[in-house]
Amino acid sequence: AQTVTQSQPEMSVQEAETVTLSCTYDTSESDYYLFWYKQPPSRQMILVIRQEAYKQQNATENRFSVNFQKAAKSFSLKISDSQLGDAAMYFCAYRPPTGANSKLTFGKGITLSVRP
């Protein structure tokens, strides 16, 4: 079974600084998809970024980028120029490549606070 591990329950970053959130996963699949979702106090889960395992290039979305290390099964999220609105719970997630019946497996999440 696939597992997703986020070992840091909480992190804090100064506004305008850079922070990296860690995630590791375990799978026997060679092809799969990885995601970071953000859940602010409004509770609505929002996709931050996604990565296809067959792509070697790390995904980037504006201030958000990932460091995808397939051999190490590591998928960390870097947030640059942190803003107050980045304060939220962040979930790393894994999904295998088998269509609608493939489950999205979430890590336990990390609470990020941003200091003004």
Partner 1 sequence: DTEVTQTPKHLVMGMTNKKSLKCEQHMGHRAMYWYKQKAKKPPELMFVYSYEKLSINESVPSRFSPECPNSSLLNLHLHALQPEDSALYLCASSQLGLPNEKLFFGSGTQLSVL
State the residues that interact with partner 1 by CB under 8 A. 32-33, 37, 42-47, 50, 52, 89, 91, 95-104, 106-109, 111
- Rounded to whole angstroms, the Cα distance separating 113 from 82 reads 10
Of 1 and 100, CB closest to partner 1: 100
CA distances to 47, 78, 97, 108 from 62, in Å: 13, 11, 26, 25
Q: How far is the CB of 22 from partner 1 (least distance, A)?
A: 16
Closest C-alpha among 80, 82, 54 to residue 65: 80
Of 62 and 101, CB closest to partner 1: 101
Q: How far is the CB of 76 from partner 1 (least distance, A)?
A: 18
Q: How far is the CB of 20 from partner 1 (least distance, A)?
A: 20
Q: How far is the CB of 89 from partner 1 (least distance, A)?
A: 8
Strand partners for 95:
33
Of 2 and 20, CB closest to partner 1: 2
